[in-house]
Chain A
Amino acid sequence: MSEKAFQRIYTKLTAITKATVTLEAQGVANDELALVAGRLAQVVKIKDKSVTLQVFGGTEDIPTNAEVTFFGEPPSLNVSDDLAGRFFNAYGEPIDGGPAVEGEKRQIGGPSVNPYKRRQPSQLIPTGIAGIDLNNTLVSGQKIPFFADPDQPYNQVMSMVALRADVDKIILGGMGLTNDDYLFFKNEFESAGALHKIISFVNTTDQPPVERLLIPDMALTAAEYFAVDKNEKVLVLLTDMTLYADALSIVSNRMDQIPSKDSMPGSLYSDLAKIYEKAVQLPDGGSITIIAVTTLNDGDITHAIPDNTGYITEGQLFLRADPDSGKVIVDPFRSLSRLKQLVQNKKTREDHSAVMNTSVRLYADAANAKTKLENGFDLSDYDLRCLDYAKEYATRLLAIDVNISIEEMLDTAWELFGKYFTKAETGLKEKLIEKYWRGEA
């Protein structure tokens, strides 16, 4: 990002907060970039001559006489095929020691796809994980986050899903990644021999938090280049969106906006939607699928960040440790893929949705039995069978370390039905029972 040839240098700041500076300047455009004492900043408010800038790198030790120069344009990214295999920071500058990317300069955070030009997502993304494929099937063009407490292995699961998915490009947007996690991703991608199809935009915990605000738009601008211009299937990984939202609240707080729930800005819903809604199935075959991570505080999904996210995304994958099986599982109650019915029974076997519903319902019965047990009541024979079923179901199907085909998942479920229940107890349609029932008649 270069400065203009003849540009005016301002040297008088009238106000400084932890995230913003204000000065008097003329001819400034909304959203345009500037350099404040060598740090990148963006115009967020103009009132007559007074211009307020959000300084991405923070305002520590910026003096009132700092030099300010305006670029005359909003943040942008150079896009071309050369992006593939590269690592960038939040500003789109290489951090892998390679040369700057040549290409067409595109403004980030561009317009939305006309809803009428979208196509209905219909391609299955198999992951081998039954908690996902069986119960919460993913579809290309979908947007879905992992909801997980910070101690869950969400980044590992996400990289696993990404590397197994059949896509042309994987774009990682890392916000507030620890250096260890950054190296983990780098290492995973390298050892999978997949570097050539991966592009990473990374902001680590040792970098200023406000910089993170650029990461999703950078990643999605690159994604749109490959999906729209090149008709490729692109998978975008965004981790951790909770830290992104935290950065939003810092900026809005410094701008004296009235906070809404959980001290988040009132525009949180729209801010998050602008990112997630970039997921799309395009008419010419390209697609953008977004898998994100939203870390929770002790499983609390009513907090403003997961709550708003849940209303925007097409479901969520809820990771938790299951004490009974000792595994990390994809919780079947709290997880949901809203697009699953677009592929289930259509791209998969005819019994898929019925098996899924029944297995989850029986797992719910087991949860009831467990409550009874905890309250010290006697368990019925059915309760006991449910508990045994639940343990095996969690171990063989819900656990994230499972890697089998969807066909095998369905067969395993039928096997468990036959092992623990009668036909009537499953409540399945007779047509399916006749065809797939395993176990006693």
Chain B
Amino acid sequence: MTTGKVTGIISNLVTVEVNGPVAQNEICFIDLAGVKLMAEVIKVNGDKASVQVYESTRGLTIGCPVEFQGYMLEATLGPGLLSSNFDGLQNNLATMEDVFLKRGEYTKPLDDNKLWDFTPIAKAGDQVIAADWLGEVKEGWLPHKIMVPFAFEGTYTVKKVAEAGQYKINDTIAVLTNADGEDVNVTMTQKWPVKVAVGSYVEKPRPFKVMETGVRTIDTLNPIAEGGTGFIPGPFGCGKTVLQHALAEQADADVIIMAACGERANEVVEIFTEFPELKDKHTGRSLMERTIIICNTSNMPVAAREASVYTAMTLGEYYRAMGMKVLLLADSTSRWAQALREMSNRLEELPGQDGFPVDLSAIISSFYARAGYVKLNNGKSGSITFIGTVSPAGGNLKEPVTESTKKAARCFYGLSQNRADKKRYPAVDPVDSYSKYLEYPEIIEYLDNKIEKGWVDKVTKTKYIIRKGKDAYEQINILGDDGVPMSYHEQYWKSELIDFVILQQDAFDDIDGCSPLDRQKFMLDLILEICDKSFKFNNFEECMTYFKNLINICRQMNYSEYKSEQFEKYLGQLKEELKHE
């Protein structure tokens, strides 16, 4: 193995003089008086390797010995990942003893001694390739597939699969024979370099299904596809976190992976405190059972922050290969980009816009490209839906991270300061936001079947009313209440009706917080029915009072159990009001 010694230190960028070959992104350990600090090679120049250290470099001196490992940063994959809290390097945070994170303390991601109930799937004589299913263990409710390791190249013949029974993750559960006739043992765990996309699938078709989230402004107005990508940019205080948590709680997915990348630690605490208590609306089980947290909060070492999103994606790819529907949420990708910037800065690279590295756009798009809906070798399918948040500096969307992400992601949920100031939550801007999936013929057809024929036309119409309302509002503001025709007021108030009843949603209300698709359809139909009417008001105050009353009744409906007695009571009230226009 190559070794070396430290020759330079600036914060967490360390220069190492090496005595042999080193690879880009190779992992090494720096020995500081017995404490091993993990680091990654990010640049090589002659016999000098620049490494980014995943820990504080306090106390490091020139001459400290370095050992190179010959592998890249890897994720450990196997049963037991669900419900775990990992840091960006996949250390298990729950098994660390100290209150404080100790430098150089690395914990195993998985429990080596836990016994899992194994059932074989493959049998002797089967021809298999990487990611094919050999057997299954129950990870909570989830049928966790034990696969041919992703790193295996070519075709193998199954020589033996273990009988049903209890095994530990490192027990051999299958023996495979390769093309050269050599036998290889397979256990229930494997490793994979996080920065390399797992390619073990047959094809990646265009997404054609919609992922239900229970958030009206997303599902109704700009739905995200299963296997699709989206991003949520917004200034601080506009509700990014609340929206992300709502998605994590409600989305119709099998596995949720949350990468808390350079964000607040208390937000992670909220997840692992509340999720065990909350019920998954789809399975009725505790939410934590389907959740994995990758937590590299803002005060944890910057270099590991960059790793955390890759670790999260790799775990997602692992579950996707089992035929699972994975939702990956990364909060916030801007912090990841900033980590890249800090390092590029210390490397004295020529900076691009705002000091970010020039290849930022390429890095972001190749990351988003790892999401997607895939067909597996066995005919089954799996998906990773990825939604990242972006924290634009000063709330200005004309900055490199937002612009680069816009090129890569297909859904845009822009949070508006203006809406947040008015407490119109979720503050997703209905005019600027979009979902490219609404243009996909596959998605239109899917919604035709899933909701009703012509649904997307209704959505388009709704957006049209919102835009018209905005125009009318601007005219009213310029010309005054009395300076515009009555129809402008009507137009404006119809858009307000949509805003208050469809777009706005109380994330903290037990009932309003999550709105299933059938309920969303019912409410949209109801609101569009009102919008289709033309009213005759004598003056604008009459118009305002009338619509405020309608809004109030509809909101009471939103707060009531769907189709309950109370709900029907308000519906009756509404119908009554609509009679005398």
Contact across chains for A429 and B556 when beta carbons are under 8 A apart: yes
A334 to B298, Cβ gap below 8 A? no
A118 near B59 with CB under 8 A, answer no
B269, CB-defined interface residue at 8 Å: yes
- Minimum Cβ distance to chain A for residue B205 (Å): 37
In the assembly, what is the distance between CA of A341 and CA of B541, in Å? 36
Q: What's the Cα separation between A430 and B98 when bound, in Å?
A: 50
B446 at the interface (CB under 8 A from A): no
Question: Min CB distance, A236 to chain B, in Å?
Answer: 15
- A28 x B297 contact (CB < 8 A): no
Decide: A269 and B338 in contact? CB cutoff 8 A. yes
Q: How far is the CB of A97 from chain B (nearest CB, A)?
A: 33
Bound together, the chains give a CA A320 to CA B563 distance in angstroms of: 47
B579 on interface, CB distance cutoff 8 Å: no
B218 to chain A, nearest CB (A): 21
Is A99's CB within 8 Å of the partner chain B? Answer: no
**A 1-40 to B, binary, CB cutoff 8 A, 1 in contact else 0:** 0000000000000000000000000111111100000000
The CA of A372 and the CA of B555, in the complex, are separated in Å by 27
Interface residues of B in 21-61 (CB under 8 A from A): 56-61
A44 to B61, CA, bound (A): 12
A45–B544 Cα distance when bound, in Å, is 66
Q: Does chain B have a CB within 8 A of A261?
A: yes
A310 to B354, CA, bound (A): 19
Interface string of B164-206 (1 = CB under 8 A from A): 0000000000000000000000000000000000000000000
A390 at the interface (CB under 8 A from B): no
**Stretch among B3-11, B117-125, B133-141 lining the A interface:** B3-11
Extra pairs beyond A30-B58, A116-B272 (18, CB < 8 Å) = A29-B58, A32-B59, A46-B61, A112-B299, A113-B101, A114-B93, A115-B265, A119-B269, A261-B354, A261-B393, A266-B355, A280-B265, A307-B395, A310-B235, A311-B332, A364-B421, A380-B540, A424-B552
Are A382 and B96 neighbours in the complex by a CB distance under 8 Å?
Answer: no
Give the chain B neighbours of A382 by CB distance below 8 A.
541, 544
A-B contact pairs, 20 of them (CB 8 A): A26-B62, A29-B60, A32-B59, A44-B11, A48-B8, A111-B56, A112-B297, A115-B93, A119-B273, A120-B274, A141-B266, A258-B355, A270-B262, A302-B396, A304-B394, A333-B421, A371-B477, A372-B481, A375-B480, A427-B555
B268 within 8 A of A: yes
Shortest Cβ gap from A352 to chain B (Å):
12
B345 within 8 A of A: yes
When the two chains form their complex, are residues B544 and A380 in contact, meaning their CB atoms are under 8 A apart? yes
Q: How far is the CA of A114 from the CA of B552 in the complex (A)?
A: 46
- Indicate whether B522 reaches chain A with its CB closer than 8 angstroms: no
B278-296 with Cβ < 8 A to chain A = 295
Instruction: Say whether, besides A277-B298, A430-B556, A121 and B266 are in contact (CB < 8 Å).
Output: yes
CB–CB B93/A311 < 8 A: no
CB nearest to A257 among chain B residues: B345
CB pair A46–B481 under 8 Å, yes or no, is no
Distance between Cα atoms of A389 and B341 in the complex (Å): 49
In the complex, residue of chain B having the shortest beta-carbon distance to the beta carbon of A341:
B508
4 nearest A-B pairs in the assembled complex, by CB-CB distance: A302-B394, A273-B298, A277-B299, A310-B236
**Docked-complex contact B541 and A380, CB < 8 angstroms:** yes
Contact residues in B for A425 (Cβ distance below 8 Å): 548
Minimum C-beta distance from A266 to chain B (A): 5
Are A353 and B508 in contact, CB atoms less than 8 angstroms apart? yes
A110 located at the interface, meaning its Cβ lies under 8 Å from any Cβ of chain B in the complex: yes
B62 touches A48 (CB 8 A): yes
For window 294-325 of chain A, which residues contact chain B by CB distance below 8 Å?
301-304, 307-308, 310-312, 314-316
Query: Do B354 and A260 have beta carbons less than 8 Å apart?
Result: yes
B482 at the interface (CB under 8 A from A): yes
Which B residues from 526 to 580 make CB contacts under 8 A with A? 540-541, 544, 548-549, 551-552, 555-556, 559
Question: What CA separation (Å) do A371 and B482 show in the bound complex?
Answer: 16
Asked whether any CB of chain A lies closer than 8 Å to the CB of B143, the reply is no
Residues of B within 8 A of A341 (CB): 508
> Are the CB atoms of B335 and A269 closer together than 8 Å?
yes
Chain B residues near A44: list those with CB within 8 A.
10-11
Tell whether A304 pairs with B93 under 8 Å between CB atoms, given A30-B58, A277-B298, A377-B480: no
Footprint of B on A, CB under 8 Å? 26-32, 44-49, 74, 107, 109-121, 141-142, 228, 257-261, 266-267, 269-270, 273-274, 277-278, 280, 282-283, 301-304, 307-308, 310-312, 314-316, 333-334, 336, 338-339, 341, 353, 357, 360-361, 364, 371-372, 375-378, 380-382, 424-425, 427, 429-430
Contact A424 B548 (CB under 8 A): yes
For B540, list chain A residues within 8 Å (CB).
380
B557 to chain A, nearest CB (A): 12
Q: Are B237 and A310 in contact, with the CB atoms below 8 A?
A: yes
Given contacts A47-B8, A48-B8, A112-B100, contact A258 B345 (CB under 8 A): yes
What chain A residues lie within 8 Å of B549 (beta carbons)? 424
Query: A48 and B7: CB pair below 8 A?
Result: yes
Q: Give chain B residues whose Cβ lies under 8 Å from the Cβ of A228.
A: 99
Given contacts A74-B58, A360-B423, A361-B423, contact A46 B8 (CB under 8 A): yes
Minimum CB–CB distance from B126 to chain A (whole Å) comes to 41
Contact of A267 among B342, B391, B396, B422 (CB under 8 A): B342
Whether a CB of chain A sits under 8 angstroms from the CB of B300 is yes
B 221-243 binary contact with A (CB < 8 Å = 1; else 0) = 00000000000000111000100
Contacts of B10 in A (CB 8 A): 44-47
Q: A312 touching B298 by the CB < 8 A rule?
A: yes
